[in-house]
Structure 1
Amino acid sequence: MTSLLTAPSAAPPVEAAPLGGRPKTRLYTLDGLRLLAALMVVCFHFIGFDNWDASPWGASTRKLFPDAHYAAAYGWLGVQLFFLISGFVICMSCWGRSLQQFAVSRLLRLYPAYWFAVLLTSGVLLLTGRLDAVPDTLSKILSNLTMLQEPIGAGDIDPVYWTLWAELRFYLLFALVAALGLTYRRVLYFCGLWLLMTVLAPHAGIPLLEIFAMPDAAPFFVGGILMFLMHRFRPTLALWILLGASWILAQGQLRNMMKSAETSVHHRLSWTICLAVISVFYVVVLAVAIKRTPLFNYRWLTTAGALTYPLYLLHEELGWEIIRSLHSHVSPWLLVTGITALMLLAAWLVHRFVERPAVRAMKRRIAPQPAG
């Protein structure tokens, strides 16, 4: 009898990567889903967020957007879709690569656009008086440039940066597996152990274990990894069992995550709707993973993927500054539509004139050169 941990020998339903290479079939659908996740977060911040004391709108968003507000109040769940896709994509991009190649690829992917966003956002907030020009502020900006401001205790220049610390911890954990060389069995063990760690860590009293357990994010990262294994090797009983466990643990964290979101929207959220949304995320990404010809797998969606990260980094604080300046002169819907379009344009400009040139320049200096 074949062990549950043995990689299936049959060919996968979607063409897998040759050893040392990337998959021959690019899943453009994931690029579109990433942009959808970012737009959900944008809607949450501009329409769902209801900060009564210091609203950039000068009024409650429930009054300004009486119907849309209650839908946008669930936009924070777009972060969970990000994490699900991240688990899939990181495992896919790391397969067949060395640890050094993996580290360099993450450095090039994360930092150029992030550095630009930190400096731009800091500059705007200094000009508008949201940041004071004092030594402590300079220290905060410099700390943010490391992307380690949360463990340092410096605080985020833009609140959206909190997810980057979660991503970094995921990369560090996955790097341990990458250092050994990725195989079906090793990645499967990693997924099982991480899920177990999310259950045990809150009760272990070990701070370092708690930091890396990430019970609210780990089930989604693991879910994405498992779906990639299904994509590369084909579904197996072990993968289905662990994927079910990741979904169960994800839904178990919903009430804790909802409490944080409810402080931002100032009303109760429906657990049933939240569960339905994350379940749809699982089903959609799973369909992309195991379907021979994924739906909506259009090449032009690479542009959507390229816009996602800069859009996410730029939209919140800069968007709120524009709202503060113009909400008295422009109708709410026109202003939200215009800001979203402006942020998409800014995201494209950052990708085209910051990310791409910076990545090319950095790659020449730090990317490992082939032997010989």
Structure 2
Amino acid sequence: MTSTTVRPAPDVIVPTRPVRPRRETRLRALDGLRLVAALMVAAYHYGGRGGEVTEAWGSSPKDQFPTLHQFFAYGCLGVQVFFVISGFVICMSGWGRPLRSFFASRASRLLPAYWVAVILVTAVFALPVVAYEAVSPSDALVNLTMLQMPLGVDRVLGVCWTLWAEIRFYALFALCVVLPGASRQRVVMFCAGWTLAAVIAEAANEPLLDLVLMPEYAPFFIGGIGLYLVHRDRRDAHAWGIVAVSWLIGQHYAVKGLWHAPDAGGFSYRSSFGIVLVVTFGFVAVAAIALGWLNRANWRWLTVAGALTYPFYLVHEHLGWVVIHALHIGLGLPSAAVFVLTVASMLALAWLLHRYVETPLTPRLRSALSKPR
């Protein structure tokens, strides 16, 4: 009888599939909300400063829009809505992305249209027929760095102060989340730590801490990050807690910064209830998108609207004044027509910037910055 040697069966090696990062479908409703926020800011700039006699209109916007100026005054809160959106988008785009790629994405997104907007506004304001004073050539060059605010240099674009806040947010998020690698726990700890640090900075009344931690704007960025966590898991109690605390603190800072007692000579007037209502709108709108309630708003034109938002935001204020002056003072058109035509012309200019500046330059700049050295 022959014996047979029983050999153990070789280990079966099961090939494993590489874990792919979570793919995000485009949230077109978020693009639409971006444009809504930009139009809110434009309405404020064009018609919400009721107590100010503007050179563009030749009188106070209160005289041009006797009823609407009361609503336009709340348009400045579009900035806070922008910051909530930014928190959501930056967390989404930075998740699973290396630091170099994150930096390349942000720089290529912001800089091309910004550079052209600075050059364009400087050139228009330098024309003899334009009644507005241009910044010095030296200051205009510094504006190309996006660092004019901390350097105390005259601004070419009035809205660039919001970009300075965005840059500081990107830096904090990159150092604390993107560099070590994004994870739910790390993002939650970042939100909790930034909230606590911002509150301490407010209590300490230390300018350096205020500069870095931005107590008055931090709740909006943090709230947007919390809403992205909700987008990933709507049952995440920690995420909902982040959103709730951010809304509570955010509305406080908005009321503190924008409310004052009624004053006939004041720059503009807003009720505390109205301010809280608009801040709540920003949080609720982004929450509805995060929860998928607006997924049916999947129209392609919303992507175009989102693409126009940033260049529109850059150029609408100063160049809008030039258009308003030309149409209202120069041609004598009625205020309502001037308002609509100015917004339309700025959107058209934004499309040109997107089509002929951002579309060709953004991918090239991103590719150049992404290449390893």
Question: Match of 2:350?
Answer: 347
Distance (whole Å) between structure 2 residues aligned to residue 158 and residue 261 of structure 1: 30
Aligned to 1:11: none
Q: Deviations over 1:89-132 (max 9, x none)?
A: 01101111001100000000000000000000011111125335
Residue 302 of structure 2: aligned partner = 301
Q: Which residue does 2:160 correspond to in 1?
A: 161
User: How far apart, in 2, do the equivalents of 1:109 and 1:260 lie?
Assistant: 37
**Residue 130 (str. 1) matches residue 121 (str. 2):** no
Uncovered stretches (5+) of structure 2, i.e. residues with no partner:
1-18
Greater relative contact order (Cα < 8 A, sep 6+) = 1
343, 362, 366: which one aligns with 1:363: 366
Question: SS in structure 1 opposite 2:270?
Answer: coil
1:337–1:351 Cα change, 3 Å: same
Q: 1:150 & 1:245 partners in 2: Cα distance? A: 29
- Give the AA of the match of 1:121: V
SS at match of 1:248: helix
Whether 2:227 is the aligned partner of 1:227: answer yes
Contact between 2:61 and 2:69, CA under 8 Å: does it hold in 1? yes
Task: State whether residues 19 and 96 of structure 1, in contact with CA within 8 Å, keep that contact through their aligned partners in structure 2.
Answer: no
Q: Among residues 304, 324, 336, which one is paired with 1:333 in the alignment? A: 336
- Give me the whole-angstrom Cα distance separating, in 1, the residues matched to 2:36 and 2:47: 16
5 Å matches for 1:76-155?
76-127=76-127, 128=130, 130-131=132-133, 137-155=136-154
Asked if the contact 1:47/1:73 (under 8 Å) is kept, the reply is: yes
Report the Cα distance in structure 1 between the residues aligned to 2:201 and 2:142, rounded to whole angstroms.
28
Provide the identity percentage.
44
Change (3 A) 1:282 1:52: closer
Could you tell me how far 1:156 is from its partner in structure 2? Answer: 1.4
CA 1:313–1:225: 2 relative to 1, 3 Å: same
Quote the Cα distance in structure 2 between the aligned partners of 1:242 and 1:38. Answer: 26
The answer to whether the 8 A contact 1:37-1:79 is kept is yes
Q: C-alpha deviations, 1:250-272, integer Å up to 9, x for none?
A: 01112232159999963431110
Distance 1:261 1:45, change over 3 A: farther
1:313 aligned partner, one-letter code: L
What does residue range 2-21 of structure 1 map to in structure 2 within 5 Å? 19-20=20-21
SS in 2 for 1:147: coil
How far has the Cα of 1:53 moved from its partner? 4.3
Q: Is the 8 A contact 1:22 1:92 kept in 2?
A: no
Q: Could you say if the C-alpha distance between residues 37 and 314 of structure 1 is closer, same or farther in structure 2, counting changes exceeding 3 Å? A: same
Distance in 2, matches of 1:324 and 1:341, equals 15
What TM-score, normalized to structure 2? Answer: 0.88
Inter-partner Cα distance in structure 1 for 2:260 and 2:313: 19
Equivalent residues, number = 349
RMSD (Å), alpha carbons: 2.2
Match for residue 43 of structure 1?
43
- Check 1:267–1:345 CA distance in 2 against 1; reply closer, same or farther (3 A cut): closer
Residue equivalent to 2:74: 74
Contact in 1 for aligned 2:255/2:276 (Cα 8 Å): no
Deviation readout 1:159-204 (Å, 9 max, x if unpaired): 1111000000000000011000000000000001111122110232
Between stretches 178-187 and 199-208, larger displacement belongs to: 199-208
Secondary structure of 1:327's aligned partner: helix
Report the Cα distance in structure 2 between the residues aligned to 1:350 and 1:272, rounded to whole angstroms: 38
Residues 154 and 67 of structure 1: CA distance in aligned 2, closer, same or farther (over 3 Å)? same
**1:282 lines up with 2:283 in the alignment:** yes
| Deviation by residue 1:194-220 (Cα, 9 ceiling, x = unmatched) | 111221102325433211221221111
Partner of 1:198: 198
Deviates more, 1:108-117 or 1:64-73: 64-73
Give structure 1 stretches of 5+ with no counterpart.
1-17
Supply the distance in 2 between the matched residues of 1:244 and 1:293 (Cα, whole angstroms): 21
Three-state SS of the structure 1 residue aligned to 2:136 is helix
